[in-house]
């Protein structure tokens, strides 16, 4: 208690900090090796949090995976919302999405890889596909509006328009993170915006 020899004490005070460490460290490991390829001892080593502490905060490994999933989707959703004021045109909203993806790929590739790759290989059941989460539904709303306003080609429905538009940036993200694309996406983001808009515009 009163003993404060070094700053080390602090670490034991805040459990939230440990939870956060575990989530970040294991998200990184899951992205690199897949859910089943990561053991609890791996997480202990990478996070610096002991087995006991991990199990005191997460019921089991699967629960931890679900928390990571929710955390990441929320993070992406918040980032997208923070870049919008609410009165953008459909075209502008979509552009913001593409910019965000391009910048995340370069600034936080772990998070982006998780978004793109983690869902699949359904070792953990019941995770909603990333493309069916809030931020993507949000885009769909705007695409409905775009169709109603007549700025989008009318032979497609909003789902097709959405997948077409987002497919371009998301595939660019995949190729960049697989090392196929040498150039940072931040350099080519405007070309991607133009390509994907041309694909769906009226």
Partner DNA sequence: GTCTATAGCCCGATAGAC
Partner DNA sequence: GTCTATCGGGCTATAGAC
Which residues here bind a second copy, judged by CB under 8 A? 30-37, 113, 116-123, 129, 131-132, 153, 155-156, 159-160, 163-164, 166-172, 174-175, 178-181, 188, 191-192, 194-196, 198-201
Residue 77 binding target from a second copy, DNA, none, CB below 5 to 8 Å by type: none
CB closer to a second copy out of 19 and 185: 185
Closer of 148 and 191 to a second copy (Cβ)? 191
Question: For DNA, which residue of 31, 53, 94, 147 counts as binding (CB under 7 A)?
Answer: 53
Q: Which stretch binds DNA (CB under 7 A): 44-52, 82-90, 129-137, 178-186?
A: 44-52
Q: Which does 120 bind (CB under 5 to 8 A by kind): DNA, a second copy, none?
A: a second copy
Closer of 54 and 115 to a second copy (Cβ): 115
- Return the number of the residue (9 or 137) whose C-beta is nearest a second copy: 137
Q: Which residues lie below 8 Å from residue 173, measured CB to CB, with a gap of 6+?
A: 101, 102, 104, 105, 112, 116, 185
Binds DNA (CB under 7 A): choice among 7, 41, 150, 179: 41
Contact at 8 Å (CB) between 75 and 111? yes
What letter would DSSP give residue 192?
Answer: H
Place of tokens 């001892």: 41
Per CB under 7 A, does 67 bind DNA? no
Q: How far apart are CA 104 and CA 12, in angstroms?
A: 32
Q: In the 3-class helix/strand/coil scheme, how is 38-106 assigned residue by residue? A: CCHHHHHHHHCCCHHHHHHHCCCHHHHHHHHHHHHHHHHHHHHHHCCCCCCCHHHHHHHHHHHHHHHHH
């Amino acid at each position: 208690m009163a003993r404060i020899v070094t700053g080390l004490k602090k670490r034991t005070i805040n459990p939230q900090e440990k939870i956060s460490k575990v989530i970040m460290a294991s998200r990184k490991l899951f992205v690199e090796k897949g859910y089943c390829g990561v053991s609890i001892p791996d997480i202990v080593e990478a996070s610096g949090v002991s087995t006991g502490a991990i199990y005191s905060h997460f019921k089991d490994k699967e629960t931890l995976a679900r928390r990571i999933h929710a955390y990441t989707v929320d993070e992406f959703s918040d980032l997208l919302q923070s870049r919008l004021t609410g009165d953008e045109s459909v075209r502008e909203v979509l552009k913001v999405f593409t910019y965000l993806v391009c910048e995340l790929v370069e600034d936080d590739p772990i998070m982006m890889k998780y978004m793109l790759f983690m869902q699949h290989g359904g070792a953990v059941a019941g995770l909603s596909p990333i493309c069916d989460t809030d931020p993507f539904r949000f885009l769909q709303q705007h695409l409905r509006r775009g169709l109603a306003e007549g700025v989008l080609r009318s032979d497609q429905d909003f789902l097709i328009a959405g997948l077409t538009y987002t497919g371009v940036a998301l595939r660019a993200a995949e190729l960049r993170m697989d090392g196929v694309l040498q150039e940072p996406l931040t350099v080519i983001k405007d070309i991607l915006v133009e390509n994907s808009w041309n694909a769906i515009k009226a």
